[in-house]
Amino acid sequence: MNNLDSLPKKKILSLFMTCGFPTLNHSKKIFNEMLSHQPDIIEFGLPFSDPMADGPIIQEANKLALRSKLSTQQSLDLIKYLSKSKNNTSFVIMCYLNTVRKFGLNKFIKNIKNIVDGIIIVDLPFEEEDAIKKSLSKNDIHLIKLISPMTDKKRSQKLLKNSKGFIYYISATGITGSNKLDYKEINKNVKSIKKMSSVPVLVGFGIKSKKDVIDISKKTNADGVIIGSALIQKYFDIKMDFNKYLKSLKKFIQEVKI
């Protein structure tokens, strides 16, 4: 059974965290803390040396994770280990294509089958996805689609055909030097996506606080949010004191669970 098929109707919470950050042992504790709150989705970022679609905070997390030569196998083993306490939480992997390619698609699927519900391959566009999507769907793993404000209607229609799991709507783009969320634009685009697809639409990029989460829920038609950088940022805010970090993470997750 795929947990993503039974997501709640509204206020879906997805938490992103880089595997092996800041070290493999610490990472276990972080994910256990996240799991204890039973969020709807946990996204596991597989560290990559050149994460060109990620901002500076997640880049730094990738760098720290790779400092101790974390392997893809170690990340996948970590996810497997955590799946024992998975319950209703959906597990989603977020990664770059070179990681999957080099590991080998079949071997990769073998490692995550019946553990992971969905996968986001950031740099795998719709045009190149066919073979991978087929193999994934045979094993009941959903390939999650990203839609950006630049994706026009015609392209969205192609992209959203037969989509499963959820739609990742990339909220922040197009405004030089501004990270402010444009609720009007988000609402307009989410509405248009919802006309084309029946799976939940989650808004990601630039969601930093309880207020942002509430605003998305009140001011837009989105079904939930994805929080990533804000979770990792806390580690640097607290000057990398790990015990303090775990406490502040706990407090933050409690806050954003609305």
Cβ closer to another protein: 190 or 249?
190
- 208: contact with another protein by CB under 8 A: no
Rounded alpha-carbon distances, angstroms, from residue 231 to 91, 206, 251? 17, 12, 11
- 24: contact with another protein by CB under 8 A: no
- 151: contact with another protein by CB under 8 A: yes
165, 144 contact by CB (below 8 A): yes
Cβ closer to another protein: 123 or 140?
123
Measured CA to CA, the distance from residue 34 to residue 15 in angstroms comes to: 8
Using the rule CB under 8 A, give the single segment among 2-10, 31-39, 116-124, 239-247 that binds another protein.
116-124
- Binding-site size for another protein (CB under 8 A) equals 38
CB of 49 to another protein, least distance (A): 4
Measured CA to CA, the distance from residue 14 to residue 244 in angstroms comes to: 23
130 annotated active-site:
no
CB of 234 to another protein, least distance (A): 21
- Catalytic residue (choose from 5, 33, 40, 43): 43
- 108: contact with another protein by CB under 8 A: no
Rounded alpha-carbon distances, angstroms, from residue 140 to 2, 110, 155, 245? 7, 12, 25, 35
- 155: contact with another protein by CB under 8 A: yes
Please state the φ and ψ torsions of residue 170, each to the nearest 5 degrees. Answer: -80, 110
- 44: contact with another protein by CB under 8 A: no
Number of H helices, E strands in the chain: 11, 9
**Amino acid identity at 87:** N
Q: Which residue has the tokens 């993503």?
A: 4
Cβ closer to another protein: 158 or 210?
158
CB of 243 to another protein, least distance (A): 29
217, 10 contact by CB (below 8 A): yes
Does the bond joining 125 to the residue before it have cis omega, within 30 degrees of 0? no
Measured CA to CA, the distance from residue 109 to residue 91 in angstroms comes to: 14
- 64: contact with another protein by CB under 8 A: no
Of the candidate residues 114, 174, 210, 258, the single one contacting another protein (CB under 8 A): 174
CB of 228 to another protein, least distance (A): 14
223 annotated active-site:
no
- 128: contact with another protein by CB under 8 A: yes
Cβ closer to another protein: 66 or 214?
66
Strands (E), the chain: 12-18, 41-45, 90-95, 118-121, 142-143, 145-147, 167-170, 201-204, 224-227
Of the candidate residues 25, 36, 81, 101, the single one contacting another protein (CB under 8 A): 101
Residues of this chain that bind another protein (CB under 8 A): 48-50, 52-53, 55, 59, 63, 66, 71-72, 96-99, 101-103, 122-128, 145-148, 150-152, 155, 159, 170, 173-174, 176
Catalytic site residues?
43, 54
